[in-house]
Structure formats: structure tokens, C-alpha cells
Structure 1
Amino acid sequence: MASDHQGPLARLRRGHEELVLRLLRTHGPLSRAELGRLSGLSRTTLYDIVVALMDGGAVVATAPAPAERRRGRPVETLSLHPEAGQVIGVDFARRAVHVAAVNVAHEVIGSASEAHSAGLGWEARADLAERLVARLAGGSLRLGVLSGVGVGVVGPVDDLSAAAERTEGATHPKPSPAPTRADLPVLLRKRFGAPVLVDNNTRLAALAEATWGAAAGVRDVLYLRLSYGVGGGLVTGGTLHRGAHGLSGEFGHITAEPGGRRCSCGKDGCLETVASIGAVLEAHGGAADLAAFLAALPDDPAAVRVLESVGTRVGTVLASVYNAVGPEVTVLGGELAEAGPVLFRSVEKALRAHLMPISRARADLRSATLGEAAGALGAIALVLHESPLLTHYPAPDSLE
């Protein structure tokens, strides 16, 4: 009779193992108590599964550092074996390429960036990404254990996502003779020999801030980036929200000034027409660039007035989104956010003024912490969250 149940029992156990591996992959290091709460497995079952995964070399236990220890028995954390896989993230910004690498234990291996001219072709951008990756960790990055490449780009990504799916399983994908943006997954698959996942880079920055940054560990996050463009992203229930057609997070195109200036999207009065860096510099009229504008703060009354006006509009738009989705944490990032308290005071004042009274005390506005690396790190988080890594985890001897 026992043999009749061996198949179903083995499949059930394998399902439990894959659940634990997936939780460690998406959340990073967890204590046994946290793992038990997230998995819903009984203590006995979880103990058996963890022991088997540790014996198999897929999971390692780490004791807290001496400075982090408290009274009582130290609480160790479980994580995926650092050598079991690595993930590369590449952010193709408007005029720069940013790269980062993380292992499956959520440990950042390194990051690098390089600016380029606006007209640089896509094959040259892919070459630049490859060179930057080669420099990570002093050239010690092991592409042989590369589990995936996450990619962030400006704008909609439906065409790129479809192209990335077509490269899956292709041994030698070929780009077109004159590669375009749509060939990017093919170009990267050719260089790195790993699956490629693509998403909007601003949306990925939201996922990065929820994974490693200002909202690390928070499952419901609203993120807004104020840069040369204005956009954002939503993380709901710990998952990046894309929307039905991959257009979620276009907060820069919410009307902030009815009847205002024409936006590049074709509408009038979008938030981007008043809160982008270009709009702020134009409204100020005196600063040659953003660095000069920020350097004038807080002693330049004109700059302060501009930021207060911008902050009011930003806070009003954020309140509308907040009332709709109810995030736990709201993160404000981008180069303009470096203006600091002058901007944040106005944003928070308007945000609270337009929230439902019951939400005002719960609103938690934070400054982004990951800077220009956010898009690349978010691309890594995309792979860690969605790619079926470690479905067949390595035996101990393969990790040596």
C-alpha cells in the first residue's frame, strides 16, 4: 500500500520544497518563524523541509552578527546558497546604462554606471552593458551560474516582453541587421546566455525600493519618481503591478493643472508638465541646470516658491492614487527629490490635506534611498520574483 502513495507524497514534498525556495528567493533571508508564517506549513513539516534543503546545499543558515544579537537564543536566518545563482540587472536610462548584480541570497555583488550620448544605438548600448557587467566585483562575476537578466527601459514594454519570451529556449537568437529597441532581449540573450525579463525602469525602481530600499519588506508601496520625466510604480501584496496592458504607474500623466500646458503624451496639464526637472528649471528661470538649482536652496526665495508649488501638485496627485490603492508606504525618488525638506514639506502637507481623514495618520512618506541604481536593482528583483530559479536546485558537490 505504501508504494501506491509514494508518487503523491513525493509530489507533495517537492511542492513544499519549491514553496520554501520561492519564498527565500523573493523575500531574501528569513527566520524560521517568518518562513513558517509565509508558507503556512506546520513547524514539523517546515523543519523537515529545511533540513533536507540544507543537506542538499540549496539553503544555508546564518547566525546574526554580534552587534545585532539580543538577549536569549540568537535567531538565525535562512537564505538560498549564495553560490547557487546570480542575477544581472540592466537599466537602459535615457542617457546612461546602469548595471548591478545580486546573488540569489539577495546579496548585492556590485553596481556600475556610465553615461552615453542620446543617439547611441541599441547594439552599442548592449555592448556597454556587457563591459560594465565585466567590471563588476573586480571582474570576478561568474556568468556560469547566471540565472537571469532583468532589464529596465524607458516607456511601454509590451513589444519587448513579447520579444523576451521568443528568446526563451533559443540557442542562438539573431538580432536584425540594424538592431532596434525591440531587439534588446535578443542582444542581451546573445551576450549573457540567460533568460531575459523586461519592464519599465521606473516601475522597476518601485520594486527595488520595496526589496532593498526605503520600503524594504513592505508589501504595499506607492512610488513616484521626479526626474526628466515623471512616473512611478505600485507594489501590491509584494508583487509589481503592471496593469492589463503594461501601462500601470503613469502617474506623471494624471492631470495636475486643468487647462495647463500640453504634455508630450498629448494631454493638457499633466503632472509631468509642472513637476519634471525641465518644467521646474523653466519655472525658476535662473538656474542653468538642476545642480545649480539645488545648490541655490534654501536661500533662493524663487527656487523655494517653485518647489512649494510643485510639492503641492505632487502631493495632490499622490493623495488621489493613495485613496485608490491604500499603500502602506509612499516613496518619493528621482533627482528632483534631492531638494529635500523644502520639497517634502509641501508634498506631505498637500498629501495629508487631500487624504481621507481616516488615512492621514497612517500616511508614511519616505525618501528613496537607492539612487541611480534603483532601476537595475529592480530588474534583478523582477527576475528573483518571477523566474523559476532553483526549480532543480544543485547538489552539494556542484556548489564547490
Structure 2
Amino acid sequence: MPREHQGPLARLRRGHEELVLRLLRTHGPLSRAELGRLSGLSRTTLYDIVGALVDGGAVVATAPAAAERRRGRPVETLSLHPGAGQAVGIDFARRAVHVAAVNVAHEVVGSASETHPAELDWPERVRLAERLVAGLGGGTLRLGALSGIGVGVVGPVGTPRPGAEGTGGPEGAGGAADRTDLPVLLGKRFGAPVLVDNNTRLAALAEATWGAATGAQDVLYLRLSHGVGGGLVVGGALHRGAYGLSGELGHITAEPDGRRCSCGKDGCLETVASVGAVLRAHGGAADLAAFLAALPHDPAAARVLDEVGTHVGTVLAAVCNALGPEVAVLGGELAAAGPALFDPVERALHAHLMPVSRARGRLRPATLGEAAGALGAIALVLHESPLLDRYPAPDSLE
């Protein structure tokens, strides 16, 4: 059908509508007063635009619940229609796929996870993600016009390191060279735009947006999992680095003469503080669950974590001395060890931080768990956080 010609007034009105829709998509539910302040539109123009969007079903107006009402006229909140579309986040971790979805009104539709062998190839991982996504929201998930897929992957995005496993992904399955077709594979499966970024950096975004570091302007995030990585929020913005290499905290040297790391150098933090390194040092537990179960009555396990925590705290202190974060967040599967890990981390932090910084540093456990990477991927799609204001545009992340 031919597109109708639009005059200047029609184009101006459409621009105002798109502005209002973008603000609601970015910030979630807003009052008319908040919309007016953010949009800069006059009250008359705003009411006209909002009225048309409500009448057309793109926006819904919701009065406060009776328990929340105060004296005077109830203040309605405006949000995008929940049925207008969803955004999906997928975190392709080394040995698991985690998915989450929200609708455009910023309501969580659901989340799910499933583990898999480290060597599982990308087509199988994509099929696993498709199955998990299909089950979200009781199978009612619908990708609409405003939808997108945010994807977290292990390792640098846009800067492959030939021959490196490390943070580049599981050998033979998750390396950067093996995932180059991932946006195409997912785009075909879901019929929606796909944005890809480092999954640990996305977890940092999620923790700084909704989790342990909400509201902080400078955040250091470290995740101890099957790999070790991190993310940085500097001056209120998520930091990606010039080549997508920001947050590679797992490759700071912890033992100068230590074990050879898969990145190619020796003694990286990942060689002593990853799940595999912990199990190797313990020598008795078959997996992390068995190690954590044995921890309360196993002195050897406690000694391993004491040494690991000392290395982690020393590395964190070095980064904190350089960056001066307001909050340091520690997450990942190994963080489930609780005080047995956090106590030696805090001791090493205190010992190696500059004295002037010791009273200011705050270490917090991550709060979002396995869903953090997927939730951060959703934030990337919605571009909803001020933490992304100076982040590269979505089309430059590939």
C-alpha cells in the first residue's frame, strides 16, 4: 500500500508521539507531570498527544490503588500497553543458558535457566534458548514491533582472540570465532533485532540498575563463576572500553609464577578463583554443589576459600585504588559460599586499600543471581538505564 505523504504538522505530531513512546519505553510508568518535564512539551500538546495514544491503545492510564491515594485528585500513571511487545534477554554462559523477558511496561514476564555440557555447540544452545523463551509467561510470550533480543556471551565482543579459550568461551563451542553467526541464528528463530554484548558486563549493568549497586555512580562488579570476569560503572555510565575489553578482571595477575591461563599468560585471577580452580585446589569435591555442602565441616575446603578470598580481595583492592568505586559487588556461583569467601576477601581488601579509602569502601553480595546477565541484556535492548547514556549505540556493539 502506498505510503501517504505527510505534511510538516503531521510529521511534527508523529515526532511528539515517538518522543512520548520513547520516554515511556525508557523510564517505565510516568505521570503526566513527569512526562511533561522529560519531554519539554507544553501541557496542551502533551495532553493532546497522550489522549490520542490512549485512545489508540498504545498507552494505558492507571489510577493509583485505593491504599495509595492521597487527598485531592488521583494522579494517573501512563505506561506502554503491556501487550504491545516484549524484550527478551538471553545469557549464554559457559555451561548454562539463562533467559528473561519483560513487556514494554517494564513488567517481568518470567525467567528460566538450564545447564548444559560446556562443549555444546551454538546451534544447540540457540535451540535450548528458544525452548526456554517459549515457556516464559506460560507460553504466551509474543514478540511485537517494539521487541528485541539482548544477548550476553562470554568474552570480548567485536574483538576475537584467536586460539584463546579463557573469557572467549568454552573450547570448541563458545569461542568468539564460533559465535559470529549468533545474531543471524537468533534473528531467524525469533524474528526480532538482536544486540550482543559481554554477559558479565551486562550482569554489572543489571546489578547497578536494579540490584546491589542501584543508585551508585561508580561500581566495580566481579563475578566468580566457571570463568572470572567483571564490569565497571564509571561516573554513572557503564564502561565498555575502546575495544570491548573493559572488565577483564579475571586476567589481572594474582600469582606471578602461577598456572598458565587459557588467555596465554600465567597466574591470572581466573586460574585461582574460578569454580574449576577451586575444585582442583580442593581435590575431593566432584562439583561446586558438593564443595559448598562440605564446607561447614571440611577444614580443607575452608582453607581453599581463605586463599581464594585473599587473592580476590588483593585484586579488588588494586582496582579500587585505581578507580575509587563507591561500591564493589561480588557475585557468581562461588559467592554462594557466603562468609567463608567474603570474610577473607574483606580482610585482604582492608589490608591492601589505601588507608584513606578503607572506611569508604563497601563490598556487597550480588542480589540478582543467575538472571543478572539476561536482565542486563534486556536493559541493553530497552536502553532504559541512564547507565547507558554514554554507552556505544546498539548498532555499534557487534
State the TM-score, normalized to the length of structure 2.
0.78
Q: Partners in 2 of 1:15 and 1:220 — Cα distance?
A: 35
Q: What is the identity, as a one-letter code, of the residue corresponding to 1:143? A: L
Q: CA deviation at 1:335?
A: 0.6
> Shift of residue 148 of structure 1?
0.6
The offset of 1:239, in angstroms, is 3.8
1:86-111 CA distance string (max 9 Å, x none)? 11111122222222111122211011
Tell me the amino acid that sits aligned with residue 337 of structure 1.
A
Structure-2 change in CA distance of 1:262 and 1:23 (3 Å): farther
Residue of structure 2 equivalent to 1:156: 156
Q: For 2:24 and 2:236, locate their aligned partners in 1 and report how far apart those are by CA, in whole Å.
A: 13
- Please give the secondary structure, in 1, of the residue aligned with 2:383: helix
Q: Secondary structure at the match of 1:143?
A: coil
Equivalent pairs counted in the alignment come to 359
Tell me the C-alpha RMSD between the 2 structures.
3.3
Q: Which residue of 2 aligns with 1:122?
A: 122
Distance in structure 1 (CA, Å) of the matches to 2:105 and 2:116: 32
Alignment map for 1:192-231 (pairs within 5 Å): 192-231=190-229
CA contact (8 A) 1:218 1:329 kept: yes
Structure 1 residue 379 displacement after superposition: 1.1
Structure 1 runs not aligned, ≥5 long: 1-5, 161-178, 388-400
Provide closer, same or farther for how the CA distance between residues 381 and 237 of structure 1 changes in structure 2, counting only shifts above 3 A: farther
1:159 shift after superposition:
6.4
1:294/1:339 contact within 8 Å kept: yes
Match of 2:163 in 1: none
Question: For 1:118-177, what per-residue CA distance to the aligned partner results, in whole angstroms no more than 9, with x for missing partners?
Answer: 3333222222222221111111111234511111111222169xxxxxxxxxxxxxxxxx
Residue type of the alignment partner of 2:149? V
CA distance in 1, matches of 2:340, 2:76: 42
Structure 1 pair 155–75 and aligned structure 2 pair: CA distance change class (3 A): same
The residue correspondences of 1:43-54 to structure 2 (distance < 5 A) are 45=42, 49=46, 52-53=49-50
Cα separation, partners in 2 of 1:115 and 1:146, compared to 1, 3 Å: farther
Distance in 2 between the 1:46 and 1:59 partners?
A: 17
Deviations 1:350-400 (A, max 9, x none): 22333334433332222112222222111111111189xxxxxxxxxxxxx
SS across alignment from 1:224: strand
Query: Which of residues 319, 322, 326 is equivalent to 1:321?
Result: 319
| Structure 2 contact 85–142 (Cα < 8 Å) conserved | no
After alignment, is 89-98 or 330-339 more displaced?
89-98
Mapping for residues 297-312 of structure 1, pairs under 5 Å: 297-312=295-310
Map Cα deviations across residues 290-316 of structure 1 (whole Å, 9 max, x no partner): 112111223322222221221122112
Report the CA distance between 1:289 and its aligned residue.
1.8
Aligned partners of 1:159, 1:266: CA distance in 2, in Å?
16
Q: Is the deviation greater in 23-32 or in 93-102?
A: 23-32
Which structure 2 residues correspond to residues 293-372 of structure 1 after superposition, within 5 A? 293-372=291-370
With over 3 angstroms needed to count, the CA separation of the structure-2 counterparts of 1:206 and 1:289, relative to structure 1, is same
Gapped regions of structure 2 (runs ≥ 5): 1-6, 161-176, 386-398
Quick one: distance in 2 between partners of 1:329 and 1:190?
A: 40
Question: How far apart in 2 are the matches of 1:154 and 1:82?
Answer: 31
After TM superposition, the structure 1 = structure 2 runs for residues 171-250 of structure 1, keeping only pairs within 5 Å, are 180-250=178-248
Query: Does the CA-based 8 Å contact 2:84-2:144 persist in structure 1?
Result: no
Distance 1:182 1:222 in 2: 29
1:271 is aligned to 2:269: yes
One-letter amino acid of the counterpart of residue 353, structure 2: L
Aligned partner letter, 2:328:
T
Q: How far did 1:213 drift?
A: 2.4
Q: Structure 2: how far apart are the matches of 1:61 and 1:365?
A: 40
Inter-CA distance 120–259: structure 2 relative to 1 (3 Å threshold): closer
Rounded to whole Å, the distance in 2 between the matches of 1:356 and 1:51 is: 57
CA–CA distance in 2 between the matches of 1:75 and 1:257? 59
Is 1:154–1:201's contact at 8 Å kept on the other side of the alignment? yes
Overall identity of the aligned pairs, in %? 77
How far, CA to CA, are the matches of 1:381 and 1:89 in structure 2?
A: 8
Q: Which residue of 2 aligns with 1:392?
A: none
